[in-house]
């Protein structure tokens, strides 16, 4: 069974970037997709994009196009989500999830504050 472990909480200034990692274990990393989903405080779930590690191809939600980059390192079974030009509205818990959302990481809290 795949497990996803994410990097720790981040505090960032407005205008900066954040890069969150998601390390997979217990499965064949390249054989499934990794999505990134965020959840603002007290709000619902929002899909940001996904990557197919075996192909290195990423798809993004239009809302984040140009600000988000999702990558994967097959050698370390790790996916990354980088979000740039941060603003206060990007304060949220960011999750990675595999395949059909059947396995989720524990979440990474990103706080954007001056």
Partner 1 sequence: DIVMTQTPLSSPVTLGQPASISCRSSQSLVHSDGNTYLSWLQQRPGQPPRLLIYKISNRFSGVPDRFSGSGAGTDFTLKISRVEAEDVGVYYCMQATQFPLTFGGGTKVEIK
Q: Using CB under 8 A as the criterion, which residues of the chain lie in contact with partner 1 when the complex forms?
A: 35, 37, 44-47, 49-50, 59, 61-63, 95, 97, 100-102, 104-107
DSSP state of 30: G
When the beta carbons of 75 and 89 are compared against partner 1, the nearer one is 89
- CB contact at 8 A, 49 and 69: no
Judged by beta carbon, residue 89 or residue 100, the one nearer partner 1 is 100
Which token pair is 91?
A: 């304060």
Compute the least distance from the CB of residue 47 to partner 1, in Å: 4
Name residues whose C-beta falls within 8 Å of residue 98's C-beta, 6 or more positions apart in sequence.
2, 4, 24, 27, 32, 33, 34, 35, 104
For the bound state, the minimum distance from the C-beta of residue 40 to partner 1, rounded and expressed in Å, comes to 12
The tokens 């996904």 sit on which residue? 50
Closest separation in Å from C-beta 61 to partner 1: 4
Closer to partner 1 by Cβ: residue 14 or 102: 102
């Amino acid at each position: 069974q795949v497990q996803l472990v994410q990097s720790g909480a981040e505090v960032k200034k407005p205008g900066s970037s954040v890069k969150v990692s998601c390390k997979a274990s217990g499965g064949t990393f390249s054989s499934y997709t990794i999505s990134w989903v965020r959840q603002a405080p007290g709000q619902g779930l929002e899909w940001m994009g996904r990557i197919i590690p075996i192909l290195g191809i990423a798809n993004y939600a239009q809302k984040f196009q140009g600000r988000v980059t999702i990558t994967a390192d097959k050698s370390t079974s790790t996916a990354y989500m980088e979000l740039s030009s941060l603003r206060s509205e990007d304060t949220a818990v960011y999750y990675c999830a595999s395949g059909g959302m059947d396995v989720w990481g524990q979440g990474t809290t990103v706080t954007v504050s001056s």
